[in-house]
């Protein structure tokens, strides 16, 4: 940690880790050709020249490429972690040492440190906020109203963050434009489904080294993250049970071949529970009470509130770490429940997060959303705005081009046909 008066330049675990971080960032770059093309263009056009930018994100090898692209575009960028267990300390060190990007993040930081970093981010007086869970935006709205005048807008790429932004807008406190990156097709179709699906199981396996085949895996929530998780768990031989509150998603899960049960009935059957809802206490006391001895519980939603860990701790006679990121709660009823990653995002707590190939598209969306805000400064109404369809399609086109796949295009005759109402059968 290096300090200058009166403020810290950065707060990372160990700058000596920078060489390893640089090597890992370079490796991730092999799978991120779309963001590289955007970065190269940004380096020439400098769309963010003179602008201060704050990114609250998981400090991973993939996020590093987003930060480097934004800086190449002229941004005075500062990064903080969006989750206490998601920081890769070597990556944070490399961003500081090799790219001179201020980073305030350490894996395992406590809530007090995290909140202090949010304040440091706002001290940067951002013109653009790239948020992941809406903590920076919420703190700005609640505590620093006077800084909203500095803000061009924000971007958000988590379901949890979008839920919070919609609530802010309903209450009339979202008085600036925010871009909904989460709902871009090239984000949720791929990042949420394929990224979360693979990385969640990766985190579970690294934390426990258990065999998934034959286990009853309960996936709590069948949004895009739940779909991907259920699909990958079945591919590993698990018997997948889905719980849902949305009748349409429940029907979809049934049609996809999964058992659908209420949580009260799934709780006694499950061997492994994975929450991916973005809501609070979807696994709570009455569920923990009837779980099998040794049931494993983890979360792949943004916040640890999906699990009622306070209840579980209150019922525990003893809590001990049995493996890294694996804690056994020995309960008063004689059974035990195993919690992974302290209820934090298991794919980042115990593994490396999403594969670079899917984050290439997600962070391309983030980069272009920032550019969209700048290009439309003063033109956008307060509230949530979708990524323009043409931007979404351009990201998909660049991805296809990068992996050597070509597709058809409409003929003039077909274009005329679909734009006409006079031609029938």
| Sequence ranges of the binding site for NAD(+) | 158-160, 192, 221-226, 244, 279, 300-302, 347
Identify any residues that bridge with 243 across adjacent strands, giving them in sequence order. 220
Exposure letters 358-379 (e unless 16+ CB within 10 A, then b): bbbbbbbbbbbbbbbbbeeeee
β partners of residue 345: 299
Please give the span between the terminal C-alpha atoms of the chain, in angstroms, as a whole number. Answer: 72
The phi-psi region of residue 209 (left if phi > 0; otherwise alpha if psi is between -120 and 50; otherwise beta) is left
HSE of 171, CA atoms in CB hemisphere, 13 A: 10
Cα separation, 132 vs 157, whole angstroms:
6
Answer left, alpha or beta for residue 280, where phi above 0 means left and psi between -120 and 50 means alpha: beta
CA dihedral 277, 365, 181, 183 (to 10 degrees): -70
Token couple for 413 = 């005759």
Among residues 276, 231, 237, 232, the alpha carbon closest in space to that of 256 is found at: 231
Residues within the annotated binding site for substrate? Answer: 60, 132, 157, 187, 191
Peptide bond before residue 6 is cis, with ω within 30 degrees of 0: yes
Between 33-45 and 389-402, two packed helices, what is the crossing angle to 10 degrees?
120
Give the distance from CA 95 to its chain's centroid: 20
Residues in the annotated binding site: 60, 132, 157-160, 187, 191-192, 221-226, 244, 279, 300-302, 347
Spatial contact of 24 and 90, defined as CB atoms under 8 Å apart? yes
Nearest residue to 156 via CA among 384, 391, 394: 384
- Identify whether the C-beta of residue 345 lies closer than 8 Å to the C-beta of residue 195: no
The structure tokens listed for 406 are 């070509």
Nearest to 148 by CA among 114, 176, 167: 176
What single-letter DSSP state applies at residue 410? -
Q: How far apart are CA 342 and CA 298, in angstroms?
A: 8
């Amino acid at each position: 940690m290096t300090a200058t008066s009166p403020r810290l330049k950065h707060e990372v675990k160990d700058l000596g880790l920078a060489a390893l971080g640089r090597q890992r960032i370079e490796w991730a770059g092999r799978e991120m050709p779309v963001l590289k093309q955007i970065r190269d263009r940004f380096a020439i056009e400098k769309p963010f020249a003179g602008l201060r930018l704050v990114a609250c994100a998981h400090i991973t090898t993939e996020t590093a490429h987003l930060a480097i692209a934004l800086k190449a575009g002229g941004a005075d960028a500062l990064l903080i972690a969006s989750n206490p267990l998601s920081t890769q300390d070597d990556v944070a060190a490399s961003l500081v040492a090799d790219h001179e990007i201020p980073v305030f993040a350490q894996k395992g930081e406590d809530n007090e440190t995290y909140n202090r970093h949010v304040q440091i981010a706002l001290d940067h007086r951002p013109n653009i906020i790239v948020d992941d869970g809406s903590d920076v935006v919420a703190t700005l709205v609640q505590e620093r109203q006077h800084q909203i005048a500095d803000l061009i807008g924000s971007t958000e790429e988590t379901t949890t963050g979008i839920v919070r932004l919609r609530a802010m807008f309903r209450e009339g406190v979202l008085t600036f434009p925010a871009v909904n990156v989460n709902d871009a097709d090239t984000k949720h179709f791929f990042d949420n489904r394929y990224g979360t699906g693979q990385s969640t199981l990766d985190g579970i396996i690294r934390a426990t080294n258990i065999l998934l085949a034959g286990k009853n895996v309960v996936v709590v929530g069948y949004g895009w993250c739940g779909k991907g998780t259920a699909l990958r768990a079945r591919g590993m031989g698990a018997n997948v049970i889905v719980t849902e509150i949305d009748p349409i998603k429940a029907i979809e899960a049934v049609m996809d071949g999964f058992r659908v049960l209420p949580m009260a009935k799934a709780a006694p059957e499950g061997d492994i529970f994975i929450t991916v809802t973005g809501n609070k206490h979807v696994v709570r006391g009455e569920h923990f009470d009837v779980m099998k001895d040794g049931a494993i519980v983890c979360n792949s939603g943004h916040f640890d509130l999906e699990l009622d860990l306070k209840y579980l701790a209150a019922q525990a006679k003893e809590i001990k770490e049995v493996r890294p990121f694996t804690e056994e709660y020995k309960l008063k009823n004689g059974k035990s429940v195993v919690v992974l990653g302290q209820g934090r995002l298991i794919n980042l707590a115990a593994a490396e997060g999403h594969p670079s190939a899917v984050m290439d598209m997600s962070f391309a969306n983030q980069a272009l959303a920032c550019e969209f805000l700048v290009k439309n400064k003063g033109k956008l109404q307060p509230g949530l705005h979708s990524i323009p369809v043409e931007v979404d399609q351009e990201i998909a086109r660049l991805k296809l081009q990068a992996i050597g796949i070509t597709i058809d295009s409409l003929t003039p005759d077909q274009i005329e046909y679909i734009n006409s109402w006079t031609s029938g059968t």
